[in-house]
Amino acid sequence: MLGVSLSLVLEETHGETAAALLPQPLLLITGPIMLLDCSAAAVLLAWIVGASSLQSLIFLLEAKARYGFSAVVKKGAGCPNFLAGFRTGYNYQQKFSLVNVKLKWVKDRVLDAVVADQGDLKAACILVSIISSARGCCLPIYRLRLHRGQLGLARDLKLSTFIRRYPNIFSESHVLDSGGTRVPCFQLTSEALDLRREELGILQQNQIDLVERLCKLLMLTRDRTLPLQTIDQLRWDMGLPYDYFDSLIPLHPDLFSSVRLPDDRVGLKLQFGDDRLAVSQLQKNAAFQQKEEDMKNGCLAFPVGFTRGFGLKRKCMEWLEEWQRLPYTSPYSDASDLDSRTDVSEKRIVGVFHELLHLTVHKRTERKNVSNLRKPLSLPQKFTKVFERHPGIFYISKKCDTQTVVLRKAYDRKQLIHKHPLVDIRGKYASMMRKGFLDRSRGLYKKTACSGPEESMTVYGEDPIYSSSCEDRLGYDLLSE
């Protein structure tokens, strides 16, 4: 009997094993053991009579697997010998057992289109950030390759090939490296520089929002600390500047500090938590999304929506309705006392990722980006299985040769319900990319060559060619605030 609220207290009284079962009526008959709870809620006897040690042990193991308790009985009269090794004293409260429900994955063409439309957008925007912050606003291809791991491009796609797809954003020239070899060098077009200027203005205007997003991300963790590598994987999704560690973190020394982690990696630590920020999006929306009775009981339900034609079976629907009525644990609260084998614990995990996706700009992230969050977020093994078990809350898109987790109810068809200002900027980049790609395929752009003998003789060594970056000339430096 799964999903039953059960409070079980066993104690030895004058050699007799008593069981008090509250509050649901429960009848278990396994082998020689019968536990019966009547409506009088009185203490009834549960005798182990005429049973072999093996039969009793099998029952206890089955009960432990199903209800999550470990028998702890003191050796004495009336108890089998095999129980003699258990520790003295027994007091257990069972929460909710984990129900094994498997729901099928159904393709959502609308959300797939949302993910596919911006397949190359992340890589292009990161390259724009890198080039604009470089001295001289121009970088040779071998310098850009150092950042390839952050771009998410296919392994068989050359970086230079990708950049040349969008000639209205990146213009190509050639320089000589320190060995005298002629190499491609890329800079931003005037149109791309104008859009980058607009983007930097948005980042400045929303600096407080970005800082709070980063604070909330760190507050989700056990020690308010994350490796920089993990934050780097999420910075694009959260709207953080590519160089956030150099441009944003130094502005708030009272909030953030750099720490050395036990595995010798560098981490970012939030100095203290903020109760004002420790409110999840589900709790913020409770006033107009939740029933008043559920709010009083702390049983908040997640907004759910399914793909057309999903066809949820009746028993799965009943399980989902019961699951939604379970207590909601805030992702910002300590959940160390929750049993990971229970539905209550699973609801907490769903709440963590529901909040994490709300911290992102597009309400989605690649599944691999959360793979390193198990220990910092105190999650059990195979924690990402909640994405498959709750397709009404999360959708897993398999477009662009990866798995992207999308928060369903954040979208109305293809449109985000609540748009961050950066979404519009990124939409403009996407429009530029589509136009540049089409124009190039129509032959409107010729293959770029060196514009003159002076450029072809430029030597690009370890020292920068120019003394200032494009962002310096654009007049937007976050450190100047």
**46 — pLDDT class (breaks 50, 70, 90):** very low
Among 19-23, 198-202, 417-421, the range scoring the smallest mean pLDDT is 19-23
- Note the pLDDT of residue 473: 52
Q: What are 277's two structure tokens?
A: 């920020």
- Note the pLDDT of residue 101: 65
- Note the pLDDT of residue 25: 38
**125 — pLDDT class (breaks 50, 70, 90):** very high
Which positions ≥6 away from 368 have C-beta within 8 Å? 233, 402, 403
Range 58-65 average pLDDT: 44
Q: Is 356 exposed, middle or buried (0-12, 13-18, 19+ CB in 10 A)?
A: buried
Spacing of C-alpha 88 from chain mean position? 42
pLDDT digits (tens, 9 = 90+) for 252-267: 999 999 999 999 999 9
Does residue 78 have a pLDDT over 50? no
Q: What are 197's two structure tokens?
A: 């200027």
Does residue 447 have a pLDDT over 90? no
- Note the pLDDT of residue 28: 38
Query: Measuring CA to CA, how many Å separate 264 from each of 114, 184, 221, 259, 261?
Result: 39, 37, 19, 10, 5
- Note the pLDDT of residue 141: 94
Does residue 153 have a pLDDT over 60? yes
What residue type is assigned to position 269 of the chain? K
Does residue 191 have a pLDDT over 90? yes
Supply angle C-alpha 350, 375, 348, rounded to 5. 20
Does residue 347 have a pLDDT over 80? yes
Does residue 221 have a pLDDT over 50? yes
pLDDT digits (tens, 9 = 90+) for 393-429: 999 999 988 999 999 999 998 999 999 999 999 999 9
- Note the pLDDT of residue 475: 56
Average pLDDT over the chain, rounded to whole? 77
Q: Is 323 exposed, middle or buried (0-12, 13-18, 19+ CB in 10 A)?
A: buried
Produce one character per residue of 176-188: b if its CB has 16 or more CB atoms within 10 Å, e if not: beeeeeeebbbbb
Does residue 464 have a pLDDT over 80? no
What residue type is assigned to position 279 of the chain? V
pLDDT exceeding 90 applies to what percent of the chain?
A: 48
Range 18-30 average pLDDT: 38
pLDDT digits (tens, 9 = 90+) for 234-252: 999 999 999 999 999 999 9
Q: What are 274's two structure tokens?
A: 């903020």
Cα–Cα dist 152/401, whole Å: 10
Cα-only R_g, the chain: 29
Range 366-381 average pLDDT: 88
Does residue 149 have a pLDDT over 50? yes
pLDDT digits (tens, 9 = 90+) for 284-343: 988 777 777 767 777 889 999 888 777 777 778 888 899 999 999 999 998 888 888 889
pLDDT exceeding 70 applies to what percent of the chain?
A: 70
- Note the pLDDT of residue 177: 81
- Note the pLDDT of residue 15: 39
Residues in the chain: 481
- Note the pLDDT of residue 97: 55
Cα–Cα dist 160/405, whole Å: 29
Higher per-residue confidence, 126 vs 48: 126
Cα–Cα dist 44/66, whole Å: 22
Does residue 81 have a pLDDT over 50? no
- Note the pLDDT of residue 382: 83
Cα–Cα dist 409/190, whole Å: 38
